[in-house]
Structure 1
Amino acid sequence: MIIDCHVHSLGVEKVDVILKGMDKAGIDRAVIFSPYPSPYMGLEERIIPRTAPGVTRYLEFSYPNVTSEKQMEAVEFIARLQKEAPDRIIGFVWLEPRLKDAVQILEKAITSRELKGIKMIPDHWYPYDEFMYPVYKKAEELNIPILFHSGILYGFKDSSRFCRPVNYEVLLSFPNLRFALAHVSWPWVDECIAVWGRFRASLEEIEGERKEVQMFIDATPGTPLIYRKDALQKIMAFGAENNVLFGTDCTAGRLEYGKYHIERDVAILRQVIGVSKETVDKFLGGNALRFLGLK
């Protein structure tokens, strides 16, 4: 089974187009994020709209007029897509945690609209900010995973410093929360893998019966091709083969391009690095089943 764990939506996609693209690429299931809840949702052929010039400070938004109403509109959109193809589409809410009712919106998205997880990008906020703790606690309570952007951040204003992998070490305090750092945190690949090692070590440090590392590494590109073999080789050599996820970063209406990502990564893993077919199968989908709580 091939599961693409990292697909964006624009708020305009149709299910038949999405499924046709998945079939062309050979993708069995796709994790699709709701659109970012900005006024531009559904209006532009861009995942993230162009920003206006000007300095943006801590906790300020890169985009104006991000509202709870837009957040719920985005939830309803992805929930409709998932409902039309529940065996193929796995809906995640792209949550804006600075909204005052973010936790309430999250609970509604999961319990009422039956979405399966959360996507977040630290846009001028840090993952260790205390206002984030209720979101993490609610995700633990609902037993859903969070997929975070990590690494250099294009599209938002000067926010890359908020997305360094070490910032997520705070999640040691939420040991029942499954989460993934996207893009192997490029260019901080080594730091990402080291943070995964920190969570692996925590299995012997934290009381309880948890047997699996709560952190996953989303290997969705972000790593340019010249760095990709090196990043995947380091992940495998460090022992994270059971916690690495495949993704494309495609938009939902263009998933046919996922075929290229699959062929390229399989070639790197099998022909260049030399891992087993079993490891490739885990990378392409087996690990995602555990991340999503489906196995």
Structure 2
Amino acid sequence: MIVDCHVHSLGVEKVDAILKGMDKAGIDRAVIFSPYPSPYMGREERIIPKTMAGVTRHLEFSYPNVTSEKQREAVEFIAGIQREAPDRVIGFIWLEPRLKDAVQILEWAVTSKELKGVKMIPDHWYPYDEFMYPIYRKAEELNIPILFHSGILYGFKDSSRFCRPVNYEVLLSFPNLRFALAHVSWPWVDECIALWGRFRAALEEIEGERKEVQMFIDATPGTPLIYRKDALQKVMAFGAEDYIMFGTDCTAGRLEYGKYHVERDLAILRQVIGVPKDTVDKFLGRNALRFLGLK
């Protein structure tokens, strides 16, 4: 089974086109994020904010007029897609955590709209900011995973400094929260792997019988091809083969392009690195199912 753990929606896609693209790419299931709740949601093309002179500040928004109403509209959209194809589409809320009712929206999205997890990008906020803690606690309570952007950040204003892997070390304080860092945190791949090692070591610090590392690594590019073999080989060599997941970063309406990502990663894993079939199967789908709590 192939599970794409990282697909974006724009708010305009139709389920038939999504499934047709998945079939062409050979993708069985896809985690699809709700659109980011900006005024540009629902457009065919993505609008990138213009960077002005000067450095943007902590907690400043890259996009204007991000509202709770737009957030709920985005949830309704992806919930509708999931409802039409529940055996193929796994809906995540792309949550803007600075909204004053973010925790309430998250609970509504999961309990009423049946979304399965959360996507977040640190746009001028740090994962260790204390206003994030209620969101982490709510995700623990709901037993849902969080997929974070990590690494260099395109498409937003100067926010990459907020997305360093080590910023997520705070999640040690939320040991029942499953989370993943996307893009192998490129260009901070080594830091991402080291952080995973920190969470692996934490298993010995937690009381009880827990045997699962709470951190997963989303291998979605990110990593340009020239770096990809090196990144995947390092993750495997460090012992994280049970925690790395395949993803494409495609938009939901163009998932046919996922075929290239599948073929490329298969070639790297089988022909270049030479990992066994069982490891390939984990990478392509089984690890994602565990991350999602589906297996």
Partner of 1:279: 279
User: Which residue of 2 is the match for residue 53 of structure 1?
Assistant: 52
Whether contact under 8 Å (2:14, 2:81) holds in the other structure is: yes
Cα drift, residue 53 of structure 1:
2.4
Q: Specify the SS of the correspondent of 2:125.
A: coil
Deviations 1:15-34 (A, max 9, x none): 00000000000000000000
In structure 2, how many angstroms separate the alpha carbons of the residues matched to 1:66 and 1:44? 19
Measured after TM superposition, the shift of residue 206 of structure 1 is 1.7
| Contact 2:12–2:44 (8 Å) recurs in 1 | no
- Please list, as runs of the form range in 1=range in 2, the aligned pairs for 1:51-90 lying within 5 A after superposition: 51=50, 53-55=52-54, 56-90=56-90
Distance in 2 of aligned mates of 1:66 and 1:208: 42
Percent sequence identity is 88
Residues 256-282 of structure 1 show CA distances to partners (whole Å, capped at 9, x for unaligned) of: 010110010011001100100000000
| Partner of residue 10, structure 1 | 10
Q: Secondary structure at the match of 2:80?
A: helix
Instruction: Could you list the structure 1 runs, at least 4 aligned residues long, displaced by more than 2 angstroms after superposition.
Output: 48-56
Give the SS at the match of 1:155.
Answer: coil
Aligned-partner Cα distance in 1 for 2:113–2:232: 36
Q: Deviations over 1:66-92 (max 9, x none)?
A: 000000000000000000000000000
- 1:54 deviates by 4.6
Deviations 1:234-271 (A, max 9, x none): 00000000000000000000000101100100110011
The aligned residue for residue 215 of structure 2 is 215
Matches within 5 A, 1:37-48: 37-46=37-46
Rounded to whole Å, the distance in 2 between the matches of 1:103 and 1:253 is 29
Cα distance between partner residues in 2 of 1:50 and 1:223: 23
CA RMSD of aligned residues (A): 0.8
Q: Secondary structure at the match of 2:180?
A: strand
* Cα deviation, residue 208, structure 1: 2.4
Counterpart CA distance in 1 for 2:165 and 2:90 is 25
Asked if 1:232 is matched to 2:251, the reply is no
267-276 vs 49-58, which moves further = 49-58
Q: Which moved more, 1:55-64 or 1:80-89?
A: 55-64
For residues 289 and 249 of structure 2, what CA distance do their matches in structure 1 show? 18
Deviation at 1:43, TM superposition (A): 2.1
What is the TM-score of this pair, normalised by structure 2?
0.98
Structure 2: state its 5+ residue gaps.
none
- Give the paired residue count: 294
The answer to whether residue 157 in structure 2 is matched with residue 148 in structure 1 is: no
The residue that corresponds to 2:115 in the other structure is 115
Query: Take 1:120 and 1:231, find their aligned partners in 2: how far apart are those partners?
Result: 23
